[in-house]
């Protein structure tokens, strides 16, 4: 049976677009990119809260094959990422493949016809020879059910569902959460609101952000001599790599690297907060790297302002115009900002039901067994399926490293299919087991298992307490392995 399309890609963010670019390079043009939102860009379309910017320098946080000489700052604002996504879609002619407002509910492998049956919320079914999920790691917002939240009469904003232009002037605001999003947002709200109370459950490591506008002359240089921007990318990526490899992955062997980073964050805090009690509350009691650290020059300073309060006793409940802390403190508010992040391990991985051969349900397989994916991209009993947001897929600190590694994997796999004149691939159980053993083993040196991560509440850990998000390898090693994995790790038919 001929499928409707060769490939269904779910998600029109940078991952889905990278996969589409690679399939086009492989000569496959029959592609449907299904996207639940009304436009492309993934995270950079959905998130548009004030202060949004990349926290990996833009020379690195972009496709290596599509450098953008026009970034306005070293750390570009979110709107520029959205424009960059639009530029990539236009240049690589991807929009014609995209179907917006299309929510995928399930995908089931049909072993008889050797294709995927993909069902969408409108009841339609599409068939495809290959299925790619590019649904993001941080795409299912986490909205805690605080007692009384339904009684709250003011405005509630989740950072991933922002009301553009919302004016905080004169408002009495509570922000819940102190993750990377809150770190960007809190200084913006503090600038305008009458009163701001921040509810922190777990403090975050924050290091200074060396950010500046990129002078027009440098942008010109990047445009005229692209090699200069490539050099800037290599330098920046190497620094990030040092942080990742020595600060996180090889914690056991190189503890001082991790301690230096923590020391830098503590010195940063001291330079902005004079009150020792406030500093104590803002200092994490887990090791640097257990949880995604962040960069800001204005976050800590916000807490030194007289109208900003840090509340650490927890949230008891909400009333119509009040948030009540666990220690009994009542704070009158009219705006509640939920910077409460995303739900990775319960409702993502995968973002919808995926059923492979012999009825294997991916969500159940991962939750009831162990989270696993060969090279962070394929799973046994799921033929012709590439899961871009998989356990152990995230490599390096810039998401683009992950995407480009996976593009290499796709290229190698499809070159082999072409060479054999075949159209079906499936990773073998033994190759998958060996990969899982290897990453489990390598992770034993990381801060996750050697450091003190107990109090970190980090989304790097799944519900079984295993750190199954990051691939424990340098980016160079990941890229090499994606380009050279043994072809016998797959069964082709
Ligand atoms: P996050 O890191 O998961 O932080 C969520 C925050 O909400 C945490 O402080 C969490 O506290 C708190 N929270 C959640 N449920 C709560 C509850 N029931 N009661 C009290 N507090 C609660 O989410 P995020 O800040 O949105 O960031 C997610 C990731 O997005 C980042 O790690 C980063 O990778 C990415 N990001 C990147 C950028 C960038 O590149 N520019 C910007 C923003 C975000 P606990 O820690 O105690 O759970």
**Domain presence at residue 481:** yes
Q: Give start and end residues of each alpha helix (H) in 322-428.
A: 362-368, 399-420
Choose the residue to mutate in 43, 145, 179, 460 for probing ligand 1, maximizing ligand atoms within 8 Å of C-beta: 179
Both 391 and 327 in a single domain? no
Q: Give the DSSP letter string of 308-343.
A: EEEE-S-EEEEETTEEEETTS-EEE-SEEEE---B-
Q: What is the pLDDT of residue 447?
A: 94
Instruction: Indicate if ligand 1 lies below 6 Å from the C-beta of 296.
Output: no
Q: How many CB atoms lie within 10 A of CB 219?
A: 17
Residue 460, pLDDT score: 95
Q: Terminus-to-terminus CA distance in the chain, angstroms? A: 16
Q: Is residue 241 part of a domain?
A: no
Same domain, 351 and 323: no
Q: In which element (H, E) is residue 158 found? A: strand 155-158
Classify 384 as helix, strand or coil.
Answer: coil
Instruction: State in Å: Cα 142 to ligand 1 middle.
Output: 9
CA 462, CA 347: separation in Å to the nearest integer?
12
Strands 330-332 vs 308-311: parallel, antiparallel or unpaired: unpaired
Instruction: Answer for the pair 12, 40: CB distance below 8 angstroms, yes or no.
Output: yes
HEC string of 426-479? Answer: EECHHHHHHHHHHHHHHHCCCHHHHCCCCCCCCCCECCCCCECCECCCCHHHHH
Write the residue with the smallest CA distance to atom 28 of ligand 1.
341
Reading the chain (493 residues) residue by residue, the pLDDT tens digits are: 899 999 999 999 999 999 999 999 999 999 999 999 999 999 999 999 999 999 899 999 999 999 999 999 999 999 999 999 999 999 999 999 999 999 999 999 999 999 999 999 999 999 999 999 999 999 999 999 999 999 999 999 999 999 999 999 999 999 999 999 999 999 999 999 999 999 999 999 999 999 999 999 999 999 999 999 999 999 999 988 888 888 888 888 888 888 888 999 999 999 999 999 999 999 999 999 999 989 999 999 999 999 999 999 999 999 999 999 999 999 999 999 999 999 999 999 999 999 999 999 999 999 999 999 999 999 999 999 999 999 999 998 889 999 999 999 999 999 999 999 999 999 999 999 999 999 999 999 999 999 999 999 999 999 999 999 999 999 999 999 999 999 999 999 9
Determine which residue's CA is closest to atom 17 belonging to ligand 1.
Answer: 144
Alpha-carbon gap, residue 449 to 451, rounded angstroms = 6
- Which pLDDT belongs to residue 487? 98
- Three-state DSSP at 394 gives strand
Looking at the fold, whether 274 and 260 belong to one and the same domain comes out as: yes
**Nearest residue CA, atom 18 of ligand 1?**
144
DSSP string for residues in 269-291: HHHH---HHHHHHHS-SS-TTSS
d(CA 484, CA 412): 8
For residues 180 and 127, state if they share a domain: no
Instruction: For residues 263 and 201, state if they share a domain.
Output: yes
Q: What is the pLDDT of residue 285?
A: 95
Tokens of 250: 């090889």
Q: What is the CATH number of the domain that holds 424?
A: 3.50.50.60
- Co-location of 134 and 271 in the same domain: no
In 3-state terms, the chain is what percent helix, strand and coil (to 5)? 35, 20, 45
Q: Are 358 and 458 members of one domain?
A: yes
Q: Which residues have C-beta within 8 Å of that of residue 392, sequence separation ≥ 6?
A: 372, 373, 376, 435, 439, 468, 469, 470, 471, 472
For residues 415, 419, 423, 427, the Cα torsion angle rounded to the nearest 10 degrees is -60
* 86 found inside a domain: yes
pLDDT at 282: 98
Q: Are residues 156 and 72 in the same domain?
A: no
Q: Which domain holds residue 381?
A: 5-140+344-492
Ligand 1 atom closest to the Cα of residue 202 is 47
Is the CB of 176 within 6 Å of ligand 1?
yes
Q: In 25-139, where do the E strands start and end?
A: 31-34, 98-99, 104-110, 115-120, 125-133
Q: How far is the CA of 90 from the centre of ligand 1 (A)?
A: 32
- CA–centroid distance, 276 to ligand 1, in Å, is 25
Would the CB of 29 count as within 6 Å of ligand 1? Answer: no
- pTM of the full predicted structure? 0.96
Whether residue 191 sits in one domain with residue 67: no
d(CA 145, CA 22): 41
Count of domains for the chain: 2
Bridge partners of 206, per DSSP, are: 294
**CB distance 136 to ligand 1 below 6 Å:** no
Tell me what pLDDT residue 150 has: 95
Do 88 and 203 have their domain in common?
no
| Nearest atom of ligand 1 to the alpha carbon of 160 | 26
Task: Give the pLDDT of residue 254.
Answer: 82
The Cα–Cα gap between 317 and 195 comes to 19
Considering the domain boundaries, does residue 230 fall inside one? no
Ligand 1 midpoint to CA 178 (Å)? 6
């Amino acid at each position: 049976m001929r499928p409707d399309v060769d490939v269904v890609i779910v998600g029109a963010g940078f991952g889905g677009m990278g996969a589409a670019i690679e399939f086009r390079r492989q000569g496959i043009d029959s592609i449907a990119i299904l996207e639940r939102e009304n436009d492309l860009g993934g995270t950079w379309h959905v998130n548009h809260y004030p202060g949004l910017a990349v926290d990996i320098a833009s020379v690195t946080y972009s496709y290596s094959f599509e450098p953008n000489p026009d970034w306005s700052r070293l750390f570009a604002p979110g709107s520029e990422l959205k424009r960059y996504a639009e530029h990539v879609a236009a240049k690589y002619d991807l929009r014609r493949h995209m179907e917006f407002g299309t929510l995928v509910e399930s995908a089931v492998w049909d072993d008889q016809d050797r294709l995927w049956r993909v069902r969408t919320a409108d009841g339609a079914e599409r068939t495809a020879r290959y299925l790619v999920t590019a649904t993001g790691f941080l795409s299912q917002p986490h909205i805690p059910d605080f007692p009384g939240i339904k009684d709250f009469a003011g405005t509630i904003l989740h950072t991933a569902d922002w009301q553009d232009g919302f004016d905080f002037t004169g408002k009495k605001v509570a922000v819940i959460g102190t993750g990377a999003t809150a770190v960007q947002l809190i200084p913006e709200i503090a600038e305008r609101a009458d009163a701001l109370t921040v509810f922190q459950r777990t403090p975050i490591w924050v290091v200074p952000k060396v950010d500046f506008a990129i002078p027009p002359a440098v942008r010109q240089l990047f445009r005229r001599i692209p090699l200069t921007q490539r050099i800037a990318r290599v330098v920046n990526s190497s620094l990030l790599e040092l942080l990742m490899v020595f600060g996180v992955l090889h914690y056991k062997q190189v503890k001082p690297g991790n301690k230096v980073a923590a020391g830098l964050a503590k010195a940063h805090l001291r330079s902005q907060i004079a009150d020792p009690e406030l500093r104590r509350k803002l200092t994490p009691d887990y090791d640097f790297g257990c949880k995604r650290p962040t960069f800001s020059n204005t976050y800590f300073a916000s807490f030194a302002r007289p109208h900003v309060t840090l509340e650490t006793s927890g949230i008891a409940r909400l009333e119509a115009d009040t948030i009540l802390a666990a220690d009994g403190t009542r704070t009158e508010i009219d705006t509640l900002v939920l910077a409460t992040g995303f739900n990775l391990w319960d409702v993502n991985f995968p973002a919808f039901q995926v059923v492979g051969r012999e009825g294997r349900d991916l969500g159940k397989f991962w939750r009831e067994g162990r989270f696993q994916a060969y090279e962070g991209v394929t799973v046994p009993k799921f033929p012709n399926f590439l899961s871009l947001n998989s356990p152990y897929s995230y490599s390096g600190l810039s998401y683009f490293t992950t995407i480009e590694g996976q593009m290499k994997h796709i290229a190698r796999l499809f070159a082999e299919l072409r060479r054999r004149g075949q159209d079906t691939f499936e990773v073998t159980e033994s190759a998958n087991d060996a990969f899982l053993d290897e990453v489990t083993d390598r992770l034993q040196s990381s801060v996750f298992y050697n450091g003190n991560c107990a109090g970190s509440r980090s989304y790097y850990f799944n519900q079984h307490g295993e750190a199954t998000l990051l691939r424990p390898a340098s980016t160079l090693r990941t890229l090499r392995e994606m380009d050279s994995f043994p072809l016998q790790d797959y069964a082709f038919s």
